[in-house]
A = this chain, B = another copy of it.
Amino acid sequence: MTINDIAALTGVAASTVSRALSRPDRVNRVTRERIQAAARELNYVPNTQARALSSGRTETVALLVSDATNPFYFGLIRGAQQQLRAAGHALLLIDTEDSAELENHLLHKVRRSVDGVILAASRLPEQTLSVIAAELPVVTVNRNVPRVRNVVIDSPDGVMQAVEHLVSLGHRAIAYVAGPPSSWANEARWRAMRTAMARHGLTATRVGPFGVSRSSGSVAADALLNTGATAGVTFNDLLAIGILRRLAERGVDVPGEISVVGCDDIFGADFCSPPLTTLTAPIEQAGRVAVSMLLDHLEHLGETASRQTVLLPTHLTIRQSSGPAPRR
């Protein structure tokens, strides 16, 4: 079923069919209705590539994640997917395997096949990112680069809440368990942590970096214990869950001997043992907002940006992995 079949069937030119379908006001009502009826009857679906070729619009958005198995992205993907479907767009999912080069390469490759991209946890240097954003509509998630629109989850604020929480429980020695150095969010969280600690005249220790997988949790747990801290705030929940497991293995009581606070509130954070105190991030919402920003941008290309940044609030969800500091 092509536009030509419909044209032949209804006795009009292909161009008229095209218009009847995409700019209905450009064609007479009766002609239009005849064409639309025929299209419906023949179950016509426009060929995406043909359309893309001439119009330049692919109605497809790429979502780049650094690791498709990281539960953090589950929500993001879901949110993005929802919003995209609502707009009739498709989602191209790309896993960059935590590699900046691969990310760059794949970005280049799909550049012409999508209308825009959403970069979740980009590992790209700021410079590269700017260049790409200049030639392709981009929205980043949890990454703030000048002149690139972005949605960031306010985990720094959350980290401060976490520190307040821990300090009020009597903790004085609190460590930050760091994630990948190339992660923008990682640095932002660490800065927030130091600031929050300084407010109480305390200094934060930092251990890491560690990979963001549960298995890295073992190393991280040992390192954390070694600092002598009575509480740890971790880069993300995956790491935190790994730490909890290792601590259990070593017979360390959580929160009796040490408190652990995660970040993101991913799937599993509420049923691990003990259930994890963590910063609940509106992940799905982040996905939706990112898509909205992107689509909005696409519709108003050339106009001055309405809003470049959206900051999404987080809140601390207290479960059982945090408690009063142990008495000395």
B69–A75 CB distance below 8 A: yes
* A71 located at the interface, meaning its Cβ lies under 8 Å from any Cβ of chain B in the complex: yes
Question: A133 — which chain B residues lie within 8 A by C-beta?
Answer: none
For residue A56, which residue of chain B has the nearest CB? B49
Most buried by B among A48, A71, A75, A214: A48
* A113 located at the interface, meaning its Cβ lies under 8 Å from any Cβ of chain B in the complex: yes
Question: A71 — which chain B residues lie within 8 A by C-beta?
Answer: 71, 74, 267
A104 to chain B, nearest CB (A): 11
For residue A1, which residue of chain B has the nearest CB? B112
Contact of A95 among B53, B69, B78 (CB under 8 A): B78
* A45 located at the interface, meaning its Cβ lies under 8 Å from any Cβ of chain B in the complex: yes
CA of A53 to CA of B94 in the docked complex: distance in angstroms?
23
Task: Tell me the count of chain A residues lying within 8 A, CB to CB, of chain B.
Answer: 41
A67 to chain B, nearest CB (A): 9
CA of A214 to CA of B270 in the docked complex: distance in angstroms?
11
A111–B49 CB distance below 8 A: no
Question: A109 — which chain B residues lie within 8 A by C-beta?
Answer: 45
Question: A43 — which chain B residues lie within 8 A by C-beta?
Answer: 108
List the one stretch of A84-92, A121-129, A188-196 in contact with chain B.
Answer: A84-92
* A50 located at the interface, meaning its Cβ lies under 8 Å from any Cβ of chain B in the complex: yes
A151 to chain B, nearest CB (A): 19
A49–B45 CB distance below 8 A: no
Contact of A272 among B50, B74, B108, B272 (CB under 8 A): B272
Question: A93 — which chain B residues lie within 8 A by C-beta?
Answer: 77, 81, 91-93
* A226 located at the interface, meaning its Cβ lies under 8 Å from any Cβ of chain B in the complex: no
A74–B85 CB distance below 8 A: no
Question: A77 — which chain B residues lie within 8 A by C-beta?
Answer: 68, 93
B95–A92 CB distance below 8 A: no
For residue A111, which residue of chain B has the nearest CB? B45
CA of A75 to CA of B67 in the docked complex: distance in angstroms?
11
CA of A272 to CA of B53 in the docked complex: distance in angstroms?
50
Could you show 13 A-B contacts with beta carbons less than 8 Å apart? Answer: A43-B108, A45-B108, A47-B112, A49-B49, A49-B53, A50-B53, A60-B92, A85-B95, A92-B93, A268-B271, A268-B272, A271-B272, A271-B273
Further pairs besides A53-B53, A68-B74, A69-B78: 9, Cβ < 8 Å:
A43-B108, A45-B112, A49-B52, A49-B58, A60-B92, A69-B74, A90-B92, A241-B271, A268-B272
